[in-house]
Amino acid sequence: MWVEVDVRPGLPAFSVVGLGDAAVRESRERVRAAILNSGFEFPARRITANLAPAHLRKVGPGFDVALAVALLAASGQLPVEALERYAIFGELSLSGEVRSVRGTLAIAEGARRAAMRGLIVARGGAAEARLVPGLEVLAVENLKAVVGLLRGEPVPPAVPQPGPAERSAVRCASGLDLADIRGHDAPLQALTIAAAGGHNLYMQGTPGTGKTMLARRLPSIMPPLTAEEALEVTRIQSVAGVRTGEGLVAERPFRAPHHTISASGLVGGGAVPTPGEVTLAHRGVLFLDELPELPRPSLEALRQPLEDGVVAVVRGQRSLTFPARFMLVAASNPCPCGFAGSDRCVCGELEMARYRRRLSGPLLDRLDLLVYVARPNRAELARPAVTSSSECAALVRAARERATHRLVGSGYTCNAEMDARAVGQHVRLTEDASQALELGYERLRLSARGRHRALRVARTIADLAAHEQVERGDMMLALSMRQVETADAAMAA
């Protein structure tokens, strides 16, 4: 985007055009005070500032410094030629201090694409901007420093570009470990399969059996972010204003919104479209506890991102696309009271039927793994842990490496991302596995989508077992985790 300023004789006025929001319109007062308090002259003329291109909406205070510098250049207090070399981004305080604004990383990437020599930002945002290679980042403290730099005065020390070690994303320990889990062999197996293939997971069970405990330990066994993925996640968190710390984000996101969340809060939207939880969970995990309790519009809004990996938000004549390649981990109780199948249940058949109808068939069909989390008995609680996060992470890493090698050049990063054509190309079945698939397709009455998802899960199970082809046991395990009725049967038993 470009900032243009025109200063001409007339009654003193300062107007900003170009579809700016309230923060952009209020910048007139911040710019006026900052210029005067920095010792410069604010022209008593008719001033018109244009934010180009005019058809795009502008949001936030990040245009403040650019507006002030353009005004000083238009009034002859700054050489115009100096503005052609740098992009400028930042908010101004009334005293002329330059403050960092969210979205600095995205601005730095845009400056590099526009072939700008460098980017001038506040010191607080310089560490984020330096993540973009090949761009000179100049950190300033106030408007005087910006003007001095553009006048050719000694340039402040450039922020050094990070070395390869700084750009690499290393997963940080969260302190949560699968070694804390007792008596959940089947759910632990499903958790490992989900992490190895990037599959969605749905857990059902009575209250207090460990569904949330399992979900929160999923990031501890997922592979580290690649440098490209870390840059994506960092950019999203920067734009959304939820980023903390410096450098690339090291841990995969884990988002767990409350079940009262609205559809726009979940998938994005609003009068000024902003990313939702599915975008904030990009390349990470979105955990939805009490899934049937979510509002129906929120549940149905999940369909597109689960299928396409993106969210398209349309408002009037404006359309925005947000990335949403996340793993959905959902949990629910078997009935409203949570104790279906036992003498503690107080729910009637009508209540249970209404509760189960809250999850539509199309939504359940988009979930890859469906498991029942049973109440562990005393012996299971007393025995040692069957595995740890480090052990599972090693298995997951090996399986992902096999999948990456197989999918090289396809654009997919894990088995869960494969479309129907890629499944046909990369999933090879033995004759016994093929027969098991066809039998399961008929008996479980799978949809065509469900069949493809079962194939992707089976391919991940085969990767975990280091099988070149999907064998019968791999396919049978994948099919056993395809139907929520399996969980109901386990609950009744």
Q: What is the pLDDT of residues 24-33, one digit of tens each?
A: 999 999 999 9
Q: Are 119 and 138 in contact (CB under 8 A)?
A: yes
pLDDT of residue 168: 38
How many angstroms separate the CA atoms of 67 and 33, rounded?
13
SS3 at position 372: strand
CA triplet 429, 431, 432: central angle to 5 degrees? 100
pLDDT band, very low/low/confident/very high, at 195 (cuts 50, 70, 90):
very high
pLDDT of residue 477: 96
In this prediction, residues 461-484 reach a mean pLDDT of 93
Tokens found for residue 381: 């609680």
Q: How far is CA 286 from CA 147, 169, 218, 278, 340, in A?
A: 45, 20, 11, 7, 27
Q: Does the bond joining 53 to the residue before it have cis omega, within 30 degrees of 0? A: yes
For residues 8-26, b (16+ Cβ closer than 10 Å) or e, as one string? eeeeeebebebebeebbee
In this prediction, residues 80-109 reach a mean pLDDT of 93
In sequence order, the 6+-apart residues with CB closer than 8 A to the CB of 317 are: none
How much of the chain, in percent, has pLDDT values that exceed 90? 73
In sequence order, the 6+-apart residues with CB closer than 8 A to the CB of 95 are: 33, 34, 37, 38, 142
Q: Are 188 and 371 in contact (CB under 8 A)?
A: no
Label the pairing between strands 318-323 and 310-315.
Answer: antiparallel
pLDDT of residue 85: 86
pLDDT of residue 171: 40
pLDDT of residue 490: 42
How many angstroms separate the CA atoms of 162 and 44, rounded?
45
DSSP 371: E
Alpha helix (H) residue ranges in 225-292: 227-240, 263-267, 277-280
Domains of the chain, first to last: 2-161 (3.30.230.10), 178-492 (3.40.50.300)
| Residue keyed to tokens 């090698």 | 405
Backbone phi, then psi, for 409, in 5-degree steps?
A: 85, -5
pLDDT of residue 356: 87
Amino acid at 307: E
Question: In which region does residue 95 sit, left (phi positive, over 0), alpha (psi from -120 to 50) or beta (all else)?
Answer: alpha
pLDDT band, very low/low/confident/very high, at 342 (cuts 50, 70, 90):
confident
Residues facing residue 321 across a β-bridge: 312
Q: Are 205 and 374 in contact (CB under 8 A)?
A: yes
Question: In which region does residue 321 sit, left (phi positive, over 0), alpha (psi from -120 to 50) or beta (all else)?
Answer: beta
How many angstroms separate the CA atoms of 233 and 242, rounded?
11
How many angstroms separate the CA atoms of 89 and 429, rounded?
55
Backbone phi, then psi, for 3, in 5-degree steps?
A: -110, 125
- For residue 134, count other CB atoms closer than 10 A to its CB: 6
Q: How far apart are the first and last CA of the chain?
A: 63
Handedness of CA 160, 162, 164, 165 (dihedral sign): positive
- For residue 172, count other CB atoms closer than 10 A to its CB: 10
- Cα-based torsion angle of the residue sequence 340, 491, 343, 294 in order, rounded to the nearest 10 degrees: -20
Q: Shortest CA distance to 62 belongs to which of 86, 90, 34?
A: 90
Handedness of CA 353, 357, 261, 211 (dihedral sign): positive
pLDDT of residue 82: 82
Backbone phi, then psi, for 424, in 5-degree steps?
A: -65, -30
Q: What is the pTM of this model?
A: 0.88
Q: How far is CA 278 from CA 243, 318, 458, in A?
A: 16, 20, 26
Computed over every residue of the chain, the mean pLDDT equals 90
pLDDT of residue 343: 86
In this prediction, residues 249-259 reach a mean pLDDT of 93
In sequence order, the 6+-apart residues with CB closer than 8 A to the CB of 76 are: none
Q: Is the pLDDT of residue 287 over 50?
A: yes
- For residue 99, count other CB atoms closer than 10 A to its CB: 19
Q: Are 34 and 101 in contact (CB under 8 A)?
A: no
In this prediction, residues 313-340 reach a mean pLDDT of 88
Give me Rg for the CA atoms of the chain. Answer: 27
Q: Is the pLDDT of residue 489 over 50?
A: no
